[in-house]
Structure formats: C-alpha cells, structure tokens
Amino acid sequence: MQTMKKGKWLEIVTPSYWDGFTIETIVKAQIGVPKKLLHELRLENGIKLNNQVVPWQTVVKKMDRLYIKCFKEESFGVVPEDLSIEVLFEDDHLLIVNKPIMLDTHPNESDQTGTLANGVAYHWQLTGIQAKVRHIHRLDRETTGAIIFAKHALASALLDQMLEKREIKRSYTAFVEGILRSKKGTINESIGRDRHHPTRRRVSATGQKAITHYEVLRVFRQDQVTKIKLQLDTGRTHQIRVHLSHTGHPLLGDGLYGGTHSLIQHQALHAFSVSLKHPITKEDIHVEAPLPLDLFQLENNLK
C-alpha cells in the first residue's frame, strides 16, 4: 500500500480493492481503527479525502488520497536517557530494537529510569519525534532480543490487535539443561500464579491457556545442554521459563525456575526474530536480533 507521512497526517493512496467503499467502511473494516480512536477522529475532523473534510459516507475511488491525522505531538511518558539502543528496524510507524541484558522493558514506577523505554525516548528525541513511548510486548529483565514499539496511537492499536490474533510471530533461542528426548514438540500446559511466591508462575489446571513449540537446534552431550528454538502461540508471563522447567529442562541460569548450571549467571534466553505484516503499509517485515556476546561465547565454549 502506498503511504506517506505529511506533517501530522498519514496519506494513503487508495488501492483498487477500496474502490466503491465509503470512508467509514474503510477506516472501520479495512484499516481496523478501534472505536475510541474513531470517536476522536470524528470529533477533530481527523479524516480527509483528497485534502477535504467530507462526510464519512462519501464513496472512495481508486487513486484517491485518504488522510488520517495520527502523528500528534505527545509527552514521551518517560524520561529520555542515552542508552545507545540498537535499532533493528524503523519507519514512520514502528520501531524494533534489540534489548540488551539486565534492562527492564519499561518503568515499573513513575520515576524509574534505565529502562529500554527511556532509551527509546532519547532515540526519538534525537530524531525529532515527539510521541508517547508505546511498547507492544515485553521481555523479562534478563531476556535479550527484539521488541516492537509503536510511534503513534493508530499503529499501537493495530499492533495490539495483531498480537491478540497471533499475527506477530516471535522466535526465541534458548540453552536448556539436559538432553531433550524429542527433536520437536509442543508444550500445552495452562499457567497460573504460584501462591507460595510473589513473582513466580507455575503450571496450573486453572491457569491461562499457554502453548509453546520447540525444536532442537544443537546438542552438547558432554555438558548436558541443548540449544533450542521456541515459538509461542500465547504470551503468558514467564511462559517459556515455566514450560521448560515443567518438562525438567530449565533455562541455563534461571534460578527462579530450577536452573542449577553455573555456566552463565542469567537466564539463557534470547528473542532472535520478529515477523509481521506491517500494520499500515501491509509489507512483510522480518527482523533478526544477533545473539548477545555472552550467549555467543557460551555456545562456543559448550561441548
């Protein structure tokens, strides 16, 4: 889809398959603008056709230009802080960065700094973007890898919808204790809170549905370690950690869930790729985050 940022407006050159639809049908059914944003756009005349404010029942023709006001100046919501973040992908609508080790995704308290969100705010400040920092998903403090941020409310809402529909595919690399019996498999076990521990989760029949797929990539028999690839159908808190621990193969370095190996001092988990259809342009996006140095060295030292 042909799009362009023009000041506060997103210009969309209407494709042939929108020909004959009304503006209202396009923004609701074709683009998927949620109700709250639709209401705001109505109140502020935030949609134009061929640079004119017209009724939403106006029929659109191929090669018309539809304008949606979505690039608004907003407070970052966090304090900008120079953390030298690694950008994997960036355009007018979204940002994908490679989160380093021992960094929270976002502040857990209003005055907290030193999080990935603070680093994103600084990056946006440098590049002249004045928008709220909106993370689409999170990674644990000790987990590295690709995280998506949205640059405006529309992109955020559409990405949230995609995440809920499982249209954003995230793949992980992990090093686990022991040798797995099967080269491929699926762990389908519901996850709930552990009433004996404030932060830990556990497999629970009354918990939320959780599905994890795994595939063995490499076996280190001498050290009794397996490198695996993981993909999630759901996104429960600590899902990978809980599921692997439940199978008797906890992550290396994950003391909370039974990891005992001393080969590494933090959980050996990395979100190495993200794949999605761009929420605005509809392009296929595939991004890979290189393995962090300590996990790269770990793999080279394993036997």
Q: Return all residues near 220 (Cβ < 8 A) that are at least 6 apart.
A: 226, 227, 302, 303
3-state secondary structure of 263: coil
Query: Domain 72-165 adopts which CATH fold?
Result: Pseudouridine synthase (3.30.2350)
Cα(89)–Cα(54) distance, integer angstroms:
36
Q: Return all residues near 222 (Cβ < 8 A) that are at least 6 apart.
A: 303
Q: Where are any strands of DSSP class E within 71-183?
A: 86-90, 94-99, 134-135, 144-150, 169-177
- 72-165 and 171-271 have identical folds: yes
Q: Are 182 and 213 in contact (CB under 8 A)?
A: no
Instruction: Write down the domain spans for the chain.
Output: 3-69, 72-165, 171-271
Superfamily covering domain 3-69: RNA-binding S4 domain (3.10.290.10)
| Overall average pLDDT of the 218-232 stretch | 97
- Evaluated on CA atoms 293, 298, 299, 301, the torsion sign reads positive
* Confidence grade of residue 180 (pLDDT, cut at 50, 70, 90): very high
Residue 298 has φ and ψ, to the nearest 5°, of -55, -50
Active site residues: 140
The distance between the two most distant Cα atoms of the chain, rounded to a whole number of Å, is 71
Cα(128)–Cα(122) distance, integer angstroms:
10
Task: Tokens for 53, please give them.
Answer: 């404010």
Q: Are 78 and 117 in contact (CB under 8 A)?
A: yes
For 6-42, the pLDDT digits (tens) are 999 999 999 999 999 999 999 999 999 999 999 999 9
Task: Check residue 32 and give its pLDDT.
Answer: 94
What percentage of the chain reaches a pLDDT higher than 70? Answer: 100
* Residue 126 neighbours by CB distance under 10 Å: 10
For 130-155, the pLDDT digits (tens) are 999 999 999 999 999 999 999 999 99
Q: Does 234 have pLDDT greater than 80?
A: yes
Task: Tokens for 89, please give them.
Answer: 């992908």
* Lookup result for tokens 């552990």: 194
What are the distances in angstroms from CA 174 to CA 86, 215, 220?
A: 21, 10, 13
* Confidence grade of residue 213 (pLDDT, cut at 50, 70, 90): very high
* Confidence grade of residue 257 (pLDDT, cut at 50, 70, 90): very high
Q: Are 118 and 135 in contact (CB under 8 A)?
A: no
| Beta strands 144-150 and 269-277, pairing class | parallel
Superfamily covering domain 171-271: Pseudouridine synthase (3.30.2350.10)
Q: Are 218 and 226 in contact (CB under 8 A)?
A: yes
Cα(59)–Cα(25) distance, integer angstroms:
9
Task: Check residue 271 and give its pLDDT.
Answer: 97
Q: Does 261 have pLDDT greater than 80?
A: no
Task: Tokens for 195, please give them.
Answer: 């009433």
Task: Check residue 116 and give its pLDDT.
Answer: 97
For 67-125, the pLDDT digits (tens) are 999 999 999 999 999 999 999 999 999 999 999 999 999 998 878 899 999 999 999 99
What percentage of the chain reaches a pLDDT higher than 90? Answer: 93
* Confidence grade of residue 265 (pLDDT, cut at 50, 70, 90): confident
Q: Are 285 and 277 in contact (CB under 8 A)?
A: yes
